Amino acid sequence: MKSFNSDPPSTVMISMPAMIVPFERLTPKRYDFTTHQGLDANFEGGRGPHKGRFREDLYYRLNIFPITVPPLRQRKEDISLMVQAFVERYFGKLGKQITSIQKETMKVLQDYPWPRNVCEMESIIERAMILCPGPVLQLADRL
C-alpha cells in the first residue's frame, strides 16, 4: 500500500470480517476529511475555477426541490414556539429550569427584526438563560 502523502490507489480492497468488498474510486480527486479545506471553493469568493459563483453542478443538485422559508421577521407567530424550543434545549445543557416568560419579553422578541435570523435568536435565548437569576426568562440585554 502507498504512503498517506502519495496519491491514493484507484481501487482499494476493504476488508471486513469474513468478507472482502472491492471499492473503486469514481474520481481521481483527493479528499481531505479532517478539515474544511477545499469546501470554500464551492461558494462565492472561493478558490475554485468559478471564483465568485456557486458551482453550477451543486446548484442544480441542490435545486431539485427548492423550499422557500420567509425570514423570521415575517413569521412572528413562530417566534414564541422557537423561544420555547430553545429554552427546552438549553434547559438540558445548562440544567436551568425556566417556568415562564414575561409578556413584555415575548413582545420585545416578536417586535425585533431579526437581521441574523434564527441563529441570532438562539444566541440571545442561550445568553438570557445563562444570565437569568430565576425561573422567569428575562433578556440579558436590550435588543
Q: What's the pTM value of the predicted model, to 2 decimals?
A: 0.57
Q: Which fold has domain 72-137?
A: Helicase, Ruva Protein; domain 3 (1.10.8)
Residue ranges in the chain whose pLDDT is less than 50: 1-5, 13-16, 19, 31-37
Residue pLDDT, tens place only, 68-101: 889 998 999 999 999 999 999 999 888 888 999 9
- Cβ proximity of 98 and 135 under 8 Å: yes
User: How do the domains of the chain map onto residue ranges?
Assistant: 11-62, 72-137
pLDDT of residue 88: 92
- Cβ proximity of 22 and 13 under 8 Å: yes
Q: Which residues pair with 21 in a beta bridge?
A: 14
